[in-house]
Amino acid sequence: MGLYENHPDLFEKARYYEQYHKDKGHHYTWSPGESLDDLIARASEIKQKSALRTTPKKARNLMEAVLMADEDDPEDQACLICHL
């Protein structure tokens, strides 16, 4: 979702890579069995499920820590690569 929301130009480039390539006879998806368009169509569902899995006291992994970060606090922000 971060790529779609924060870098739409790069998201479009990633979508291009998923297109069917006649010369190779196949297409590539970033997520097994689901295209980027499918993921974006389910964006609100994915975010809701993620929010339910996130505990308010302690993150269980790095992704949860990023999702729980206080966006107004510079000390609580992830580095650029993690924020994508």
pTM of structure: 0.52
- pLDDT tens figures, 6-18: 999 999 998 888 8
Domain boundaries, the chain: 1-53, 55-84
Q: What is the DSSP secondary-structure string of the chain?
A: -HHHHH-HHHHHHHHHHHS-BTTTTB---SBTTB-HHHHHHTHHHHHHHHHHH--SS--SSHHHHHHHS-TT-GGGPPPHHHH-
With a cut of 60, say whether residue 5 has pLDDT above it.
yes
Sort residue 33 into left (φ over 0), alpha (ψ -120 to 50) or beta: left
